[in-house]
Structure 1
């Protein structure tokens, strides 16, 4: 489930510089100042941190409507899944086995994770990939950032950079499951220090799963003032989504074999005993982001950035419920009837606002950044009954709760080159103040203070290769759902990374070993709560130990291969579980949703300059959906392959170019499930009763072979 937020920022005015010059700036200088906007959260080449950069040119060929997690599917250690089965709607990603609530996501350095659930919901930003300049995925603790702690990865997205020349783009794509994407974008180019860019997008899809439809609208706008030493960017973006829920998956083994698209969400039995489906079992959210960035080059060595941000989010999901008690909804009984079928809406109304700031001192050998953030979240949670089978109630709120969170952090990052040795240090102090109430827990008023140090070294062996070592500590507070489930201990992670990098004009190789040591890690139990979100519990001591190999090799002038592989072991230590009424130490067990083997590859063939053909393959090894190594909880391994073709026809007569794109997903029509759930409960079947532990599972089927095809006209 997604929480919508809103954000605004108060500035650290001491960092606001005076506008120096009104002359236009060379393109390279503009790029240099713009980099300050993301320098506070991104890793640099000499930092001892495993990361992958993805440019807008790499995103474009596959950007035909699928969400950002799916576009990043082939990066190292990444596993993706989608509720609707075809990459549009609610999509998710895990990195090194850690789910989206443990992946810190920032947009231009501004936190995107929802403050309470700590999840990320790209369904609220339809077609956002069309307005991105670049993406960086850091694996592990990485560098200090704003928002929730990074326990698996950090994902930073940078929106459009300055465009020197004006342009207009019209993009349309169609595909399987009645998928349609329409995008209109334009930019004025830089004239007299001013520039504007805008985009509107519409995406619709029926989804692979029955009734798992998506109706999405997205937009982006920026207005920029650019001089020799100053860039001021005002950015607004957001979206509106309506998706039919498909979070139940499939528990019925017979249907999993013969009716894989079956969706039980919204199912009910009418008065004649017939199975029906409620037509509006939907998720409805609106989310709007506003950012104001001021980047300033103070001298040849000093640059600064300050940002104000505000995110406004509001929405609800609607549900049909059978045989609910009037009393549970604060409603009067209807005569002798104490229960009723009803329709309810559960609302989230959130505001998120604050400031981020940084001051950067940079010379050829020294790079120091001092920065921080102060952000505030205000959330309202309430539910309404809009219909019962006996009467339509007046405005009725059967619960009315809140969650407020203040998040303040300060950091200092330093990188110093001494001969062939680069020394990196990163110190962050973070304070979190959380107040909340709920129908499931008593009033909360908690304060967390975290010190998150990181340090490492990089040693240059020669012009092409280097080795590095890194140690970092991260701490993270519980989520709102964790309070509801009774798992309220903060988590602590010690991350060790050791790697080797090789780069020349024909090849890049990064071999990285990691050991992530957790205390009180919140691991997914495999179960879902009543709104389809994973349930987590503190597992005591646990660890992830693995090896990542990422490479890009230019085989010939026309052939490029980009293989990556992750081999890991992921264990809970001395894991306790109550089976058949007896608390038992199961010893070391596998952490849920953590495959031991992940392999990706991209083979790109460019027979001529205008044509690019890519064959992409992903293998995800067997994984457990729970933490007790139950045979029933196994999610089988799977392999999928995609074929992507991109051809650009340059015209330069009114129309600059026409780009034709085609994407065949799962080209070998594999039958697979990329996600699922596992739950247990105690029951008795004997007299006298004996407690017996019952196990249940469900799976999320993904689409077989399907396609997307698009055409882009650029003026």
Structure 2
């Protein structure tokens, strides 16, 4: 391994002057006002190759020798085409676009995005950035190198159920939208990206906002928001295929096509994807399928686009994790687990044999099965020189179940009668049940934007959304060893949930002085949530909850000099409890309180895209962001899970997260680049009282003290070293570190996830033969140093065989060294 690293370093250190090719960099501005145009798309020979940053700057890493066409497009502007000659050394291309081009449909998306005027912390991720890492792993893994991000996978290899936390906040506190349409589940607040496999292949841009950020549609951004756009318009016809194979039987196949602009008005784009993996954990397989189809019509300042995308997943249940002694090999604790879990001799032998890859379930169809169909109709309309509007109607249809084998279940728990056989009365049976979700989510969103071309000192947006969610939860018995009085698909519980969520927001930025800008944003959000019926434990979960939230935000920016900016903002975020905060409590208990967050962000940005600071053909970016997130009634994870793997939570009166995020990037001729991000934070609950239980299960309340919030590491870093040692060959080392995380709020190291460090290696090589546009070969080696680590877990206490209270930790081990290899072809 040492030789491998030394060889890699030597490869990156080859003399760059020998390459007879160079990058093209420059800026894109408005021809009338000179204002920078962030987010413009730059295509080299019809292939998206770069996007402009907040300062309007872009860089195409490599332009081969010969004549090439550069096409630049931006919302509401005429596209511009210019020829460039590939040559040694860097070239500059400063472009001014004229207004009046066809809209691209981004009016609704950009209305919710942050920029250098909104005084918030954000990271833009381009289509090219995602493509570099996309070998078939889920979207959270493609964002692993962005600030304050921690990811994990139930199956251990990034395929199947994955999760993302930002600043210690789980995805239930991360607002996600696709084209401005909410993606978060209305009840759990989570975004289950396993339902949309290979979504990244259809994303043309993505923004991660940290903290409360700007006003969003859907669930509250209580730690971050992820704003996804698939509304790209590609004017040239294309066809692409990406195929990956790798460790644990992982296979990914993706085919994409686009007609380009037909008759000056019509476009059709599509994608089919399939991802299969056995998973690193035993019996943790995934079988994922998805499609994406978009049909658009555009004329002048009008664009109408219909989009449908869908995903179907079948995953073997891996959400139980692995008991700690199976990882550590502690035989005494392992025997205790076997005894308290009443494991059979065969299961006991299996847990000893399988160790860290142990999976509790053995029933061959212990699977989760779910399908989610999305339908979106988007309208973007220019209204004169200075106004445009984006509006969308949407429908999401979700349905599916997870199937489980249950041993020795009471008949009465399923509404069944006892069974008498001969002289014996049976009260229990082995059975198989299915727990179903059957739901509809529909509504509309809009954003009216004021973006004057002649004078951009004032920009404003008025927007909002109305959404309705209707979800049936029910269970069926599909087989029983002793059927009792049951029928086929015997339904043993049912409840219906309805949720109405509507919001309106207004936002404006005003450049008061050439150096000073101010920002204001206010949102009103109303929620009505009703549940009727009983849960699987026959607990009455009838709920009536109403909330109205007022969320103001304000900020200011100050330009110190060209490429240097100070900013500061204050924002209020509020959100309602999730479904499990109501249903996992005694009947009628609606004591879970809404959470409130006061978020202060302040920082400094420094950008030098033109090489003035470090010499010709270099670029440098640096940002330091301070955050203080002060909570009231924050719902924090207790460390325990319910029967479907959802974290149980409790309100704490006062808590906070405060820290600093440092990010930096430097490149030379784009032949070599280094990017780093480091987050240092303190995440604390004030006056926390730990609750344990004695042998009689009576609660024992500890003394009040300050404690660390569960699942909130104090240090997270990510570093990427990337270089181009040979023409069309790019290699990268990616290093990730995460400090200790506690499984509950007791700050007890015996219930924690140990710090870990992971090194990945990536290489991509492209060639351009005459019979196709491009062939690209890729290799991703994950966990190069072969570390045995865990990235998630939970803790649980119960009355042991000895009569005392036993505490067990369960963990989710991540894969040791593994690889994914890919072949991509562009036509």
TM-score by length of 2: 0.80
In the alignment, the residues of structure 1 paired with residue 306 and residue 342 of structure 2 have an alpha-carbon distance, to the nearest angstrom, of 46
What's the CA shift for 1:576? 1.5
In the alignment, the residues of structure 1 paired with residue 128 and residue 347 of structure 2 have an alpha-carbon distance, to the nearest angstrom, of 57
Question: 2:386 matched to which residue of 1?
Answer: 301
Gaps in structure 1 of 5+ consecutive residues: 1-22, 687-691
Q: Which residues in structure 2 correspond to 1:122-521 (within 5 Å)?
A: 122-192=193-263, 193-257=265-329, 277-335=362-420, 336-363=425-452, 364-391=456-483, 393-419=487-513, 420-437=515-532, 438-439=534-535, 440-486=539-585, 488-505=592-609, 506-521=619-634
Equivalent residue for 1:94, pick from 165, 181, 193: 165
What's the CA shift for 1:695? 2.3
What's the CA shift for 1:508? 1.0
Equivalent residue for 2:189, pick from 106, 115, 118: 118
What's the CA shift for 1:713? 0.9
Residue aligned with 1:594, SS? coil
In the alignment, the residues of structure 2 paired with residue 75 and residue 571 of structure 1 have an alpha-carbon distance, to the nearest angstrom, of 23
Mapped contact 1:24–1:226 kept (Cα < 8 A): no
Question: 1:667 matched to which residue of 2?
Answer: 784
Mapped contact 1:359–1:369 kept (Cα < 8 A): yes
Mapped contact 1:37–1:305 kept (Cα < 8 A): yes
- 1:695 and 1:273, CA in 2 relative to 1: closer, same or farther beyond 3 A? closer
Gaps in structure 2 of 5+ consecutive residues: 1-75, 81-96, 332-336, 351-360, 586-590, 610-618
- 1:584 and 1:326, CA in 2 relative to 1: closer, same or farther beyond 3 A? same
What's the CA shift for 1:30? 5.5
Mapped contact 1:380–1:402 kept (Cα < 8 A): yes
- The two structures, once aligned, show a CA RMSD in angstroms of 2.3
Mapped contact 2:570–2:599 kept (Cα < 8 A): yes
In the alignment, the residues of structure 2 paired with residue 26 and residue 512 of structure 1 have an alpha-carbon distance, to the nearest angstrom, of 35
Question: 1:60 matched to which residue of 2?
Answer: 131
Residue aligned with 1:573, SS? strand
What's the CA shift for 1:584? 2.1
Equivalent residue for 2:664, pick from 551, 554, 559: 551
What's the CA shift for 1:35? 2.6
In the alignment, the residues of structure 2 paired with residue 661 and residue 668 of structure 1 have an alpha-carbon distance, to the nearest angstrom, of 20
503-512 or 79-88, which moves further after superposition?
503-512
In the alignment, the residues of structure 2 paired with residue 539 and residue 629 of structure 1 have an alpha-carbon distance, to the nearest angstrom, of 15
In the alignment, the residues of structure 2 paired with residue 139 and residue 271 of structure 1 have an alpha-carbon distance, to the nearest angstrom, of 48
- 1:31 and 1:550, CA in 2 relative to 1: closer, same or farther beyond 3 A? farther
Residue aligned with 1:328, SS? helix
Residue-by-residue CA offset, 1:447-483 (whole Å, 9 max, x unaligned): 1000000000000111110000110000000111011
In the alignment, the residues of structure 2 paired with residue 284 and residue 269 of structure 1 have an alpha-carbon distance, to the nearest angstrom, of 28
Question: 1:577 matched to which residue of 2?
Answer: 690
- 1:258 and 1:616, CA in 2 relative to 1: closer, same or farther beyond 3 A? farther
Mapped contact 1:267–1:277 kept (Cα < 8 A): no
Mapped contact 1:555–1:561 kept (Cα < 8 A): no
What's the CA shift for 1:556? 5.3
In the alignment, the residues of structure 1 paired with residue 477 and residue 445 of structure 2 have an alpha-carbon distance, to the nearest angstrom, of 40
- 1:461 and 1:31, CA in 2 relative to 1: closer, same or farther beyond 3 A? farther
Mapped contact 1:126–1:216 kept (Cα < 8 A): yes
Question: 1:20 matched to which residue of 2?
Answer: none
In the alignment, the residues of structure 1 paired with residue 429 and residue 791 of structure 2 have an alpha-carbon distance, to the nearest angstrom, of 37
88-97 or 37-46, which moves further after superposition?
37-46
Structure 1 stretches of 4+ with a deviation exceeding 4 A read: 27-33, 255-259, 266-276, 681-686
In the alignment, the residues of structure 1 paired with residue 600 and residue 375 of structure 2 have an alpha-carbon distance, to the nearest angstrom, of 37
Aligned residue pairs, count:
683
Residue-by-residue CA offset, 1:191-217 (whole Å, 9 max, x unaligned): 220000000011100000001000010
- 1:512 and 1:37, CA in 2 relative to 1: closer, same or farther beyond 3 A? same
Equivalent residue for 2:818, pick from 700, 706, 711: 706
Mapped contact 1:291–1:307 kept (Cα < 8 A): yes
Mapped contact 2:103–2:381 kept (Cα < 8 A): no
Q: Which has the larger radius of gyration?
A: 2
Equivalent residue for 1:618, pick from 711, 736, 741: 736
Mapped contact 2:258–2:269 kept (Cα < 8 A): yes
In the alignment, the residues of structure 2 paired with residue 539 and residue 172 of structure 1 have an alpha-carbon distance, to the nearest angstrom, of 48
65-74 or 276-285, which moves further after superposition?
276-285
- 1:273 and 1:482, CA in 2 relative to 1: closer, same or farther beyond 3 A? closer
What's the CA shift for 1:634? 1.7
What's the CA shift for 1:330? 1.3
- 1:256 and 1:248, CA in 2 relative to 1: closer, same or farther beyond 3 A? farther
In the alignment, the residues of structure 2 paired with residue 605 and residue 393 of structure 1 have an alpha-carbon distance, to the nearest angstrom, of 65
What's the CA shift for 1:48? 0.3
In the alignment, the residues of structure 2 paired with residue 232 and residue 667 of structure 1 have an alpha-carbon distance, to the nearest angstrom, of 47
Residue aligned with 1:632, SS? helix
Question: 2:47 matched to which residue of 1?
Answer: none
In the alignment, the residues of structure 2 paired with residue 238 and residue 272 of structure 1 have an alpha-carbon distance, to the nearest angstrom, of 38
Mapped contact 1:33–1:297 kept (Cα < 8 A): no
Mapped contact 1:312–1:351 kept (Cα < 8 A): yes
In the alignment, the residues of structure 2 paired with residue 40 and residue 269 of structure 1 have an alpha-carbon distance, to the nearest angstrom, of 58
Mapped contact 1:25–1:228 kept (Cα < 8 A): no
In the alignment, the residues of structure 1 paired with residue 801 and residue 686 of structure 2 have an alpha-carbon distance, to the nearest angstrom, of 30
In the alignment, the residues of structure 1 paired with residue 489 and residue 794 of structure 2 have an alpha-carbon distance, to the nearest angstrom, of 36
